[in-house]
């Protein structure tokens, strides 16, 4: 099994295709991870990085193409198969059992009797060999996030992983922890010419500083690959962001917006204003750092950020759902909020549309619910906003995703709130439904509503936003409404 040829590939994916329903996730992607190297896999949210690596680890099956581990083609690939062939994966969301000890977690998935002493000895041995020291008897729920990650890596090493796949491993770490991890990964590949690491990330700096090779995915295709020293932050950002989406470009031709709104901005009063707003999430981690911004009546302010930059907390604070920990926030009492996850946060799927419509004021309503009047109003809203449903009596579950979203937006806009906060409103919608949501938002803006609009799709932010804010690692700033500038600010490329 010893492979001394330094150019041999530890892990290779050849011409991989994958679709989920009608959505094309990966198209003809080839990835070659050389033995003895760290290979960074870069791309925006939804570019297909994680899907590609889940295929490599055997968690999902490709539609077409091959997975090769140390030169052997994997047939009927599965995670068990991947582990047996020395591939280990550390997921972005850890797969540990919090109530169990480190030793128990690491023994999970093995067969036969659980011998705590043997497993603990193994963990200590790995600790001595690799420097990844962890107490085998510690309970996982008592460990810090970085220690939990160490536990995940030790788990992979305990199964003799030679190829480690790490999905956004530094996202959860403090800066010094992150650089320690990346240093360790370099050591891991240097130690044995059979070892290799795939590092999924959207941090350009990490890829440039710590990887040997870089592959960039964009919209499910591999757009650029090569040695790390052939890239710069600038070329990487260009590769990741691409020339812009044609569909969106067409749309912006139809509705040219910039001038009209820079004209009208001055005339409108400030509806939302934050000064040095700081927000902690429910676990007490600071997610928004002294953010200041304004949103005026009759404008859409677009917010661009990569996943987990603190935008979710900012939007919830502005909507009045999460109390800020310091700073000042001026917002009207009635801020409409359209959350990203409509099934989890916006709808009672097994209740009627009338009841879902009534949900908006459920928290403050007193006495009897005027169901007849509400049903009539809901029916009006369905008509006006072209929400396609048989009647207001049907369960929300029976609507298509696009109609659910139109309904949610219509509910938030009913009785014209002064401000509206929208989070990724077109996620999972097809083009036609997304266009309808865009139209509804533009109509709301033209009616004088102040809109704060977040999308993980940069082009959508540029298309809809009259002004653009960018958030990176909790820090918010306003940038010119130019694709390249926004894209780089989002990725923190200089």
Partner 1 sequence: MTPATRTALDVVLRLGITLALTAGFLVVLLVITGYDPGQSLRALVNGAFGSWYAITSATFVRAVPLALTGLAVALAFRAGLLNIGAEGQLLAGAAASTAAAAVLGSSLGAAALPIILLIGMLAGSAWAGIAALLRQRFGVLEVISTIMLNFVALYAVGWLVRGPLQEPSQIYPQSVALDKALQLPVLLAGSRLHVGSLIAVLLAAAAWWWLRNTASGFRLRAVGLNSSAAATSGRINVARVSVSAFLMSGALAGLAGSVEYTGVTYALYENLSPGYGYTAIAVALLARLNPLGVLGTAILFGALQAGGSAMQRDAGVPIALVNVVEAVIILLVIAGDRVRLSLARTAHTVTPESVPPST
Nearest to 458 by CA among 303, 313, 339, 354: 303
Write out the two tokens for 346. Answer: 């916006």
Euclidean distance between CA atoms 169 and 161, whole angstroms? 17
Euclidean distance between CA atoms 13 and 51, whole angstroms? 12
Beta carbon of residue 437, minimum distance to partner 1 (angstroms, whole number):
15
Longest dimension (CA), the chain: 78
Cα–Cα–Cα angle for 51, 57, 62, rounded to 5 degrees: 55
Beta carbon of residue 342, minimum distance to partner 1 (angstroms, whole number):
9
* Between 289 and 377, CB nearer to partner 1: 377
Beta carbon of residue 294, minimum distance to partner 1 (angstroms, whole number):
24
CA distances to 236, 280, 351 from 292, rounded to whole Å, are: 30, 16, 39
Number of Cα atoms under 13 Å in the Cβ half of residue 225: 14
* Between 1 and 333, CB nearer to partner 1: 333
Interacting residue ranges for partner 1, rule: CB under 8 A: 320-321, 337, 339, 344-351, 355, 358-369, 371, 382-383, 386-390, 393, 395, 397-400, 402-403, 408, 411
Beta carbon of residue 26, minimum distance to partner 1 (angstroms, whole number):
25
* Between 28 and 386, CB nearer to partner 1: 386
Beta carbon of residue 42, minimum distance to partner 1 (angstroms, whole number):
33
3-state secondary structure of 372: helix
Beta carbon of residue 75, minimum distance to partner 1 (angstroms, whole number):
33
* Between 140 and 492, CB nearer to partner 1: 140
Beta carbon of residue 351, minimum distance to partner 1 (angstroms, whole number):
6
* Between 106 and 434, CB nearer to partner 1: 434
* Between 343 and 477, CB nearer to partner 1: 343
Q: Is 70 left (phi over 0), alpha (psi -120 to 50) or beta?
A: left
CA distances to 122, 190, 198 from 162, rounded to whole Å, are: 17, 12, 11
- Residues 6 or more apart in contact with residue 203 via CB below 8 angstroms: 170, 491, 492
* Between 397 and 477, CB nearer to partner 1: 397
Beta carbon of residue 336, minimum distance to partner 1 (angstroms, whole number):
10
Write out the two tokens for 305. Answer: 């950020």
Burial class of residue 425 in the structure, from the number of CB atoms within 10 Å of its CB (0-12 exposed, 13-18 middle, 19+ buried): buried
* Between 330 and 365, CB nearer to partner 1: 365
Beta carbon of residue 7, minimum distance to partner 1 (angstroms, whole number):
50
Beta carbon of residue 90, minimum distance to partner 1 (angstroms, whole number):
28
3-state secondary structure of 123: helix
- Residues 6 or more apart in contact with residue 322 via CB below 8 angstroms: 279, 281, 282, 313, 316
* Between 156 and 346, CB nearer to partner 1: 346
Contact between 243 and 78 (Cβ < 8 Å): no
Q: What is the DSSP letter of 340?
A: S
Q: What is the DSSP letter of 489?
A: H
Euclidean distance between CA atoms 427 and 119, whole angstroms? 44
* Between 75 and 344, CB nearer to partner 1: 344
Burial class of residue 350 in the structure, from the number of CB atoms within 10 Å of its CB (0-12 exposed, 13-18 middle, 19+ buried): exposed
* Between 58 and 425, CB nearer to partner 1: 425
Nearest to 213 by CA among 233, 195, 198: 198
Burial class of residue 257 in the structure, from the number of CB atoms within 10 Å of its CB (0-12 exposed, 13-18 middle, 19+ buried): middle
* Between 38 and 421, CB nearer to partner 1: 421
Beta carbon of residue 145, minimum distance to partner 1 (angstroms, whole number):
20
Euclidean distance between CA atoms 464 and 262, whole angstroms? 14
Neighbours of 75 (CB within 10 A): 8
Beta carbon of residue 150, minimum distance to partner 1 (angstroms, whole number):
27
Instruction: End-to-end CA distance of the chain: give it in Å, rounded.
Output: 44
Write out the two tokens for 83. Answer: 């582990």
* Between 253 and 350, CB nearer to partner 1: 350
Beta carbon of residue 369, minimum distance to partner 1 (angstroms, whole number):
5
Contact between 488 and 494 (Cβ < 8 Å): yes
């Amino acid at each position: 099994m010893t492979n001394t040829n330094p150019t041999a590939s530890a892990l290779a994916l050849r011409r991989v295709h994958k679709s989920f329903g009608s959505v094309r996730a990966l198209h003809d992607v080839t990835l070659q991870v050389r033995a003895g190297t760290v290979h960074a896999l870069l791309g925006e949210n939804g570019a297909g990085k994680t899907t590609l690596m889940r295929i490599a680890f055997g968690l999902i099956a490709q539609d077409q193409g091959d997975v090769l581990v140390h030169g052997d083609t994997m047939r009927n690939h599965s995670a068990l198969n991947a582990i047996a062939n020395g591939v280990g994966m550390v997921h972005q969301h850890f797969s540990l059992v919090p109530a169990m000890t480190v030793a128990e977690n690491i023994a999970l998935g093995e067969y036969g009797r659980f011998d705590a002493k043997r497993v603990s000895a193994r963990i200590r041995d790995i600790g001595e060999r690799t420097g990844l020291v962890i107490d085998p008897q510690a309970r996982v729920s008592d460990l810090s996030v970085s220690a939990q990650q160490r536990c995940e890596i030790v788990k992979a090493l305990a199964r003799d992983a030679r190829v480690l796949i790490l999905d956004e491993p530094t996202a959860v770490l403090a800066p010094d922890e992150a650089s320690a991890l990346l240093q360790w990964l370099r050591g891991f590949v240097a130690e044995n010419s059979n070892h290799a690491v795939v590092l999924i990330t959207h941090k350009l700096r990490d890829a440039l500083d710590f990887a040997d090779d870089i592959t960039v995915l964009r919209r499910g295709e591999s757009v650029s690959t090569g040695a790390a020293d052939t890239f710069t932050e600038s070329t990487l950002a260009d590769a990741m962001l691409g020339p812009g989406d044609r569909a969106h470009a067409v749309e912006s031709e139809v509705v040219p917006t910039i001038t009209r709104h820079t004209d009208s901005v001055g005339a409108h009063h400030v509806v939302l204003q934050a000064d040095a707003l700081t927000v902690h999430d429910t676990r007490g981690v600071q997610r928004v750092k002294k953010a200041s911004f304004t949103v005026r009546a009759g404008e859409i302010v677009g917010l661009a950020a990569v996943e987990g930059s603190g935008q979710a907390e900012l939007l919830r604070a502005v909507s009045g759902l999460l109390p800020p920990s310091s700073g000042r926030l001026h917002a009207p009492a009635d801020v409409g909020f359209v959350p990203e996850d409509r099934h989890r946060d916006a709808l009672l799927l097994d209740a009627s549309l009338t009841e879902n419509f009534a949900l908006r004021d459920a928290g403050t309503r007193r006495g009897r619910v005027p169901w007849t009047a509400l049903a009539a109003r809901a029916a009006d809203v369905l008509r006006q906003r072209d929400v396609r449903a048989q009647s207001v009596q049907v369960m929300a579950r029976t609507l298509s995703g696009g109609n659910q979203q139109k309904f949610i937006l219509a509910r938030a806009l009913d009785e014209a709130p002064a401000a509206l906060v929208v989070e990724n409103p077109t996620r999972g919608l097809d083009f036609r439904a997304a266009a309808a949501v865009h139209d509804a938002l533009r109509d709301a803006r033209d009616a004088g509503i102040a809109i704060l609009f977040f999308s993980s799709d940069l082009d959508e932010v540029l298309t809809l936003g009259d002004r653009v804010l960018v958030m990176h690692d909790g820090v918010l700033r306003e940038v010119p409404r130019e694709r390249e500038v926004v894209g780089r600010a989002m990725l923190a490329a200089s």
